[in-house]
Amino acid sequence: TTRDPQTATTDVLTYGDLVVAGKLIGPRIYSTGPGIFSSENVSSLEHARKVMKRYSAYYDTKTIKMYGTGNRQQRQWIIQAAREQNIMPTTEGGLNFRNNLTQMIDGYPGQEHSLPVFPLYKDVVGLVAFTKSAYTPTLLVAYGGPWAENYFYALERPHDDPKLNRFMPHHNLDSRSRRRNAGWFMEEEHVFEEQSAVANAIVQEGGRVGIGSHGQLQGLGYHWELWSVQSGGMPELDALRAATILGAEAIGLDNDLGSIEVGKLADLVILNSNPLDDITNSKDIGYVMINGRLYEDDTLNQVYPLNKPLPKLWWQDFAPTGVPGIRK
C-alpha cells in the first residue's frame, strides 16, 4: 500500500483507478490529492467545509494534507471540517517548531517531516506520544544536515540495482543516480542517526512513527527510510511495526491493512531473509501479494492463482538500442 501526501496534480487518482480496474499492476494507492495551502484564504468554518467537500465528495481521497493553511484559527477550522466529513488529515511539518506542536495539540493525526530541532527531551517526546500524532520524519530529506538519501546513493549504488533497471526507464535512473549535485559529505556529518533517536524515543513512549520516503526513489527509497529510522537504536521489530501497522493506523486503515489477521486484506510482502536479524534484509523480497494474487518480486510475473507473465512495460517500446555514435 502506498499513500502519497500532497500531490501537485490529481494524476495519482487516475493511477489508483487504473490499478483497481485491473489496467495496471500496482499497490493499493491512496493519496491526499493536492494539499490545502494558505492560498485557500480560509475565512470561516463554513468556508473550510466547502473546501473539504473537494476531497470528501469529488476527489474521494479519504485523507488530506493541511499544508500551512494560515494561522492557528484557520488550521483549527480545517481539522474540524475534516472530522465532520470523515477525512483523515495530516500536516506538513515545517521549520516553525511552535506550529508543529500546536498542530499536534489541536488534534492533527499526522506530521510529515522531521521536527526542526534535535535532540528532543521528554516534554516534547511525551507530547507527541500522548497526542498519538503519527510522526513521519522523512529522514531522506531531513532538516538540520545532509539528506540521508545522499548517504545511501553513495553506498548502495542504486544505478546498478537489477530491479530498478528492470522496472524503471534507464534514462530516469541515470538522472537520479549519476553526478548528483547535492555534494559529498563525511559520514559523521550526517544527522539521520541522531534524528532517528527521537523517533525511537517516541515509539518507546507509546507513540506512533511512520515511514515516509518522500518519493525520492521508487522502490528502494522506502527501504532506505526504514533503515534510517532504525539506525538510532530502534529495535528492528519496532521499525517493522512503523513500516506496517503504525503506518496503517496513521492513515486510518488499520482495520484492513498493516498486519496479518483474519478478516484483513490479503496483502503480503514475503522475505527471503529475516529483517529482525538485520533491518537491511527488508529489501530481500521473494514474493509480493495484493488481494490474494501472488507475484514473483524479481519479475512481477503472477504465479497464483494464475500463471501470468508481466506484460511489456509501456516505456520499453521507446527505449534506445545500440551504441550511440556517428553512422555513415
Q: How sure is the predictor about 325, in pLDDT bands with cuts at 50, 70 and 90?
A: low
- DSSP 3-state of 79: helix
Half-sphere exposure of 54 (CA within 13 A, CB side): 15
Exposure letters 281-316 (e unless 16+ CB within 10 A, then b)? bbbebebbebeebbbebeebebeeeeeeeeeeeeee
**Per-residue pLDDT tens digits for 70-92:** 999 999 999 999 999 999 999 99
Nearest by Cα to 231 from 185, 271, 280, 182: 280
Element (H, E) at 163: helix 162-167
Beta strands (DSSP E) in 127-261 are 134-136
Q: From CA 231, how far away is CA 187, in angstroms rounded?
A: 13
How sure is the predictor about 320, in pLDDT bands with cuts at 50, 70 and 90?
Answer: low
| φ, ψ at 299 (rounded to 5°) | -120, -20
Residue 180's pLDDT band, with cuts at 50, 70 and 90, is confident
- Strongest mean pLDDT among 12-26, 35-49, 149-163: 35-49
Mean pLDDT of 171-179: 88
The percentage of residues in the chain with a pLDDT greater than 70, rounded to a whole number, is 97
Scan for cell 503519527, then name that residue.
Answer: 134
CA 270, 273, 276, 281 torsion-angle sign: negative
Looking at per-residue confidence, does 142 or 182 come out higher? 142
| pLDDT computed for residue 314 by the predictor | 80
What is the distance of C-alpha 86 from the center of its chain? Answer: 22
Mean pLDDT over 243-266 rounds to 94
The pTM score is 0.93
Nearest to 27 by CA among 268, 308, 285: 268
Supply the pLDDT for residue 316: 81
Tell me the residue ranges of DSSP E strands in the chain: 2-5, 29-33, 63-66, 88-92, 110-112, 134-136, 268-271, 285-290, 293-296, 302-304
Q: Say what percent of the chain tops pLDDT 90.
A: 77
Mean of the per-residue pLDDT values of the chain: 92
Q: How far apart are CA 80 and CA 74, in angstroms?
A: 10
> pLDDT value at position 321?
60
CB-CB neighbours of 269 under 10 Å: 13
Predicted confidence at residue 218, as pLDDT, reads: 86
| Predicted pLDDT at 266 | 95
pLDDT band at 323; cut points 50, 70, 90: low
Residue of 134, 119, 144 lying closest to 249 (CA atoms): 134
d(CA 279, CA 323): 40
